Chain A
Amino acid sequence: MRLFFSFLAGGLFGAGLFISGMTDTIKVQGWLDVFGDWDPTLAFVMGGAIIPMFIAWQFTKGRAPLVGGAFPSPARPELDHRLITGSVMFGMGWGLVGLCPGPVIASITYNGWEGVLFMLAMIAGMVAAPKIGEQLDQIAAKA
């Protein structure tokens, strides 16, 4: 069942990214470009996704996942330097090319060598992240 739910979730996610136009970098950069020809589509995608997720979170109260186990623990309240630094780095890369991790994966079969190269660079960044994160911790401890 666990693998069935995984495939179903991945399929819905991929289909949603595809039909919403989020694998088209013009639409993503168009949303970020407030001084250009601004494209509001991304806000509708976010809104459309948050509604079912908000309902889903309500269903988790006092229940367990269908496959058993437990739901994720409540969201941590504290903000730390990693959250901010990481999000700024991610945002910069996102703005430069118009791709975030979900659409990179969803478009891998039709995004040419450019998409494959982006995916490889992204994976390299992911592999290096634990080490770089530790270095950021040291810098933050000194500051």
Chain B
Amino acid sequence: METDWIWGLAGGGLIGMGGAVYLLGNGRIMGASGILGGLVDGSGRKSAAEKLVFLAGVILLPLVLSSLFLIKTNTHMTDNVPLIIAAGLLVGLGTRIANGCTSGHGVCGISRLSLRGIVATVFYILAGGMTLVVFRHVLGVI
């Protein structure tokens, strides 16, 4: 627990370097929802290869790291099916309607002082915090 912030900072640094490589190398904004969403709704067909290779990297590195160092990969994920479906739908819909998620609006937007990125981040954090507090502490369902 005491060292979690160091891992957080180091991991965050890697995330930022990934974004920097995608921006300075390919001239693109690294947003997870935009990359996956562009593939599944067909809007990103022209850059499909680039997106698929990006996603392969995102999936492969955690797999390699977890198997090499036998790090525990407990995600503490809920097994409540209706909750998973509702939350997944909301995340998919919301990130595409807002045109960005934690990586696109959060990391890439805030770092260039984009008003849209900052406002989106404030709203999804507030909505996330309020939803969690209501469902956990008021309703007691999560």
Contacts and interface: CB of A to CB of B under 8 A. Distances in A.
A75 to B, nearest CB: 3
A7 B27 CA distance: 14
Interface string B41-52: 100000001110
B13 to A, nearest CB: 4
Interface in A90-143: 90-102, 104-112, 114-115, 117-130, 132-133, 136
A45 B136 CA distance: 24
Interface residues of B, number: 107
A77 B109 CA distance: 12
B101 A100 contact: yes
B77 A95 contact: no
Majority secondary structure of chain A interface residues (helix, strand, loop or mixed): helix
Which residue, of A72, A86, A90, A98, has the highest number of chain B Cβ atoms within 10 A?
A90
Interface of A: 1-3, 5-27, 29, 32-36, 39-57, 59-60, 64-67, 69-72, 75-79, 82-102, 104-112, 114-115, 117-130, 132-133, 136
22 contacts: A6-B57, A7-B53, A9-B18, A9-B57, A13-B54, A14-B58, A15-B11, A16-B15, A20-B11, A34-B129, A36-B136, A41-B8, A51-B13, A66-B25, A79-B115, A88-B124, A88-B127, A93-B92, A114-B77, A115-B75, A128-B92, A130-B41
Given A14-B59, A49-B15, A70-B27, 18 more contacts: A5-B26, A6-B22, A6-B53, A6-B54, A12-B15, A16-B17, A20-B15, A48-B13, A49-B13, A53-B16, A65-B24, A67-B27, A71-B27, A72-B23, A87-B94, A96-B132, A98-B76, A129-B37
